Amino acid sequence: MLSDAKINEEEERIRQRVRQLPDDKRFAFFQETEKQLKDPDTYATLNYLFIAGLHHFYLGKWGRGLINLAVFLTGLAMLFTPLFIPGILLIIAISVVELFALFKSQVIVQAHNNAVMNKIYQEIMRDYKQ
């Protein structure tokens, strides 16, 4: 389970480590993070407008995105068959599961961004030590 406090603490730890970098490395860090960080509002909008899992693709989680898309499209296809009711239930089920991602979009994206910042920091430190 994602905890707001733990996510915020992790972000602060990363920022403290980055502040200790030399100016050129800190500049490189911020340049790279600007390219790779994701926006929580975009994530939430993709989730809200397209329950088919596009928000997972936005964060690079292709496996989960493909599963969501497949479940949603299966439910949609079932609407045009005698399995109409199970199709509706499948679409409702995937929607309910994705409500968590919608309501926790800020924390989910912040955790993703923390992982990205940590990875960039590690790469810069590896280059710095060489």
Q: Model-level pTM greater than 0.75?
A: yes
115-124 residue pLDDT tens: 999 999 998 8
Decide: 129 and 21 in contact? Cβ < 8 Å: no
- Position 41 in a domain: yes
Crossing angle between the packed helical segments 84-103 and 40-49, to the nearest 10 degrees: 170
106, amino acid identity: Q
- Position 2 in a domain: no
- Position 54 in a domain: yes
The parent domain of residue 62 ranges over 37-129
- Position 11 in a domain: no
> How many angstroms separate the CA atoms of 21 and 66, rounded?
39
69-117 residue pLDDT tens: 899 899 999 999 999 999 999 988 888 888 877 888 889 999 999 999 9
- Position 87 in a domain: yes
- Position 73 in a domain: yes
- Position 6 in a domain: no
**Tally of domains within the chain:** 1
